[in-house]
Structure 1
Amino acid sequence: MTIASDEWADLRQELAVWRNRFLRLLDRSPAPTAISRTDGSLVITNPAFSALWGLTPGQVRDRNLLDLLVSTDEESLLKLSEGLRHGRRFRYPIRVEWNAQGVTRAGQLTVAPVSDEVLTRTLLMAFLHPDPMAHGTDPNPAQALSPKEARILELVASGATSALIARSVALTVDGVNYHLARLCRMLKVPNRTALVAKAYVLGLLHPTSWPPDSQEGR
């Protein structure tokens, strides 16, 4: 069946709309997720992924997964290579390690080949699951959070502004910003977006609270 040019244009537009929706959801996901080309070069990462290195998504774009992660799991790497060569659509778990700001961490990288219907190419979607019990992992920062800071973190995740947070926790805006700066230093992240993403990764914000209620604190 031949698709008329106007129907094809409509189809591409619809695919583009759904692609944008997916990217917005990916950006808000608490799970460290990356999309790469089959050679490992990164196309898209969400804040939760880049925050593991104390970076932003823009700072890791075009870097290679093999430069960020190290794996001695040769058997799993071979299965992934064979699967890509034969076009198999499976999920491939691989044990990996990485170094972030002088600390060696470990976890599992799950790689799934996916197709980009707009560009008609195969990409890899990778989910990184840090192992909180792995050697070199920092102690749980939840022990260093005061009840007020824990509440501020929840409100930031809900999308509340500094002014709204200040009214909710009986602080000035400067007071809220002071605590936010302290939280960013504690978790070694550059901004609020990365702060929320890393807080989900570390379990400071419970996964069941995602997606956040944008009305909280208003």
Structure 2
Amino acid sequence: MFVLTVDQIASRSGPDRAGTVIESINDRFGDRLLLTAERTAGDEFQLATEDADLALTIALDLLRDRGWSVGIGQGDVRRPLPESTRAATGPAFYAARDAVTRAKRAPFRFALDAADRERGADLEALIVLLLHLRDRRTAGGWEVADLLASGTTQTEAAERLGITESSVSRRVAAAGVRAEAAATTALVRLLVALDQDSDTSHTVDRKDER
């Protein structure tokens, strides 16, 4: 299980954006969330999912916005699950709370805590490297990256932007679009393996207890 705890940066000096972002996340991804995004306190919200790809996608989207501290917690949750995210608890929620606390002091406002602390630290380091890559991307690079992510071909992107295909190719290379795609795929595999191994370990522990 992956839990995201998200806290708005500098909310006291600006408008509360949590409600709008929560609504957007639930509209886009609600069918893939085990517990939908829900405000937990002030300008903070949480959500839970068993989908590693979704957890990473939402985290990266929020971090691109630069308005949020994001903590990912991996681990078990207490079952049966309640109807409300606010009522849920368990190790993954505790880990997400620790992670977002650390994220508030981190350069890219991100942290990850996992049941396996060493593997969690390794994954956090790799995701931070990806954030470094994305942080260097220009507005033009993001323009091309977003078009390609939507399924647009490079030829179609060139026509839409009014530039040559070679210019699109140069933007793709400079923005690290291919490198990001490969890294994201690898990170999702690692997150899935982390969660599966954690689940297997706890299943064995429960059997040993009996």
TM-score by length of structure 1 reads: 0.32
TM-score by length of structure 2 reads: 0.32
The structure with more radius of gyration: 1
Q: Give the helix-richer structure, 1 or 2.
A: 2
